[in-house]
Amino acid sequence: MMAKSEVGMADSSPAGDFLHPLQETMPREQLAELQLARLRESVRNAHDNVPMQRARLRAAGVSPDDIRTLADLQRLPFTVKTDLRDHYPFGMFARPVAGLARLHASSGTTGKPTVVGYTRDDLETWADLMARTLRCAGARPGDVIHNAFGYGLFTGGLGAHYGAERMGGVIVPASGGSTERQVALIMDFGARVLCATPSYALAIAEMAEQSGVDLRKSALRVGMFGAEPWSEAMRREIEARLGLQAIDNYGLSEVMGPGVAVECAQQDGMHGWEDHFLFEVIDPDTLQPMGEGEAGELVITTLTKQALPMLRYRTRDITRISTAPCACGRTHLRLLRVAGRSDDMLIVRGVNVYPSQIEAVLVGLPRIAPHYLLVVERRGSLDHVSVEVEARAGVPAEQFQAIAHDVAHHIKSLVGISTDVTVKPPGEIPRSQGKAVRVRDLRPPPRLAQ
Ligand SMILES: [Zn+2]
C-alpha cells in the first residue's frame, strides 16, 4: 500500500544521490515509529492468515495486540528455513495462491525446494527497493545495466531486472553463461553497470583478458555484486581488473530477494532498508540479542510483505550492525560486511574456518589466480583440508611446488589450519556461472538435523 506512493516521491534531480530521499534520510526516531506501526500490521497479517504462525504465536503467548514497542519483537518466535520446507509449497503464505502474482523457488541441496510468493503489491515494493538499491550503488537513470544474474526461479535475475527498469536504467537481460558473448555485449552496448555474482564477475574479467579486451577501458563504472559471500581482497581484485567500483548487496529470497541491503559509495557496510525490514543480530547458540557492533547471526522481520510475512527469520548469515551516521547522509543502519554463513563455517580440528578467510589469503598472493576449491575430508578421526589453487597465466610449472608450499604457509599463519595445497595450471578449476562452489565437504554430516 505504501510502496506505490514512494515512486511519486522519487527525487527528480539527475544528480540526486537518493531515489527515495524522504525514506532514506528519515530521522531514526521517526523510522522507529514507522517500524512499530508496520510491525504490528505484519504480525497481524501472519496471525490472521497463516495457521502455522497463529499456532506459534499462541504457543509463545503473544497476540498481535501485545506489540506495543519495538522491544516486544523479542517475544516473537523465530522462523527458520526448514519451516518453509515443512510447509511446502504454500503453507506459509498469508494469501490464497490465486491472489498472488509470482512464485520463486530455490533448489535446496537436500529435500524440497524453498518456495516464496508475491502479491502484485509485493512486486511493486520489491521493484521500488531494488531501484533504490541500484541508485544507492551508483547507477543512474539512462545507464545501460548489464544483468548477469541468472534469470528464472532464482530471485537474483528478475529482482535486479525490474529494479533496473523502475530506476530508469536500460536493462540488458544477459543472465548467466556464454561468457565470451557477455564481454562483447558489455563493450558494444556501453554498459555502465554490471550486476553479477562476484565469482562470475571474475570469470567475465578473465574471459575479456583472454580475448584481448581491456574492460578497464570500457564504460563500466559500477559493479553491483551479491548472492555469495566474498572477501575485501576479492573486491579489490575485481575493481582492478574490471575498472569499476564494486558494491556489495545483500538479500535472500525468504525475506524478498536482492534489494534488502546495499553499500553506498562509502563501501563501509550495507544500508539495510529499515522502512521495510527489521534487523537484529543474535547469538546463534543462546538466541539472545547481541549489542551493536558485536558479530552474530542476522535475523530479519519483514514489515510490508503481504503474501509471505516473515517473523524473525534466522538468515544463518554472520554480520555486525552499526547505526553510526554514514557520510552519504542515509540514516538506515549498516550491516558490516557479511563474513559468511554459519552454514558455510567449517570446523576443522576445532578451529572455526570461513572459506572467505582462505579466499582472502589466496587473492593476496601474486602468482595465484583467484579461483580455488577446498576439499574437507575425514581421515581416521581427523579432519583433513586440501586446497586446490590455480597458477596465473605465464607462471612456469617448475614453480608450482614452491608456490604450494608458500600458500600452505600463509594459510597456516593467517587462518590457523594445516592444509595440503595443490597448484594447478591456469583454467583447471571449474568456473561458476552463478553462485560459486568453493567447498566440498566430504565428511559425514557434522550435526543432527534441526
Ligand atoms: Zn552510506
Q: What is the pLDDT of residues 56-75, one digit of tens each?
A: 999 999 999 999 999 999 99
- Containing 424, the helix (H) or strand (E) segment is strand 420-424
For 143-178, letters b (16+ CB in 10 Å) and e give bbbbbbbbbebbbbbbbbbbbbebbbbbbbebbbee
Would you say residue 339 has pLDDT above 70? no
- Containing 137, the helix (H) or strand (E) segment is helix 120-137
For 323-349, letters b (16+ CB in 10 Å) and e give eeebebebbbbbbebbbbbbebbbebe
Give the other-Cβ count within 10 Å of 203's Cβ: 21
Q: Choose among 31, 91, 76, 52: nearest CA to 301.
A: 76
Would you say residue 196 has pLDDT above 50? yes
Would you say residue 3 has pLDDT above 80? no
Give the mean pLDDT of 258-286: 96
CA–centroid distance, 288 to ligand 1, in Å, is 28
CA–centroid distance, 142 to ligand 1, in Å, is 23
CA–centroid distance, 137 to ligand 1, in Å, is 10
What angle, rounded to 10 degrees, do the helices at 120-137 and 155-167 form?
Answer: 70
Would you say residue 21 has pLDDT above 90? yes
CA–centroid distance, 170 to ligand 1, in Å, is 25
Cis previous bond, 89, omega within 30: yes
Q: What is the pTM of this model?
A: 0.83
Give the mean pLDDT of 112-137: 96
Of 232 and 4, the one with more pLDDT:
232
Q: Please report, rounded to a whole number, the percentage of residues in the chain having pLDDT higher than 70.
A: 92
CA–centroid distance, 11 to ligand 1, in Å, is 17
Would you say residue 8 has pLDDT above 80? no
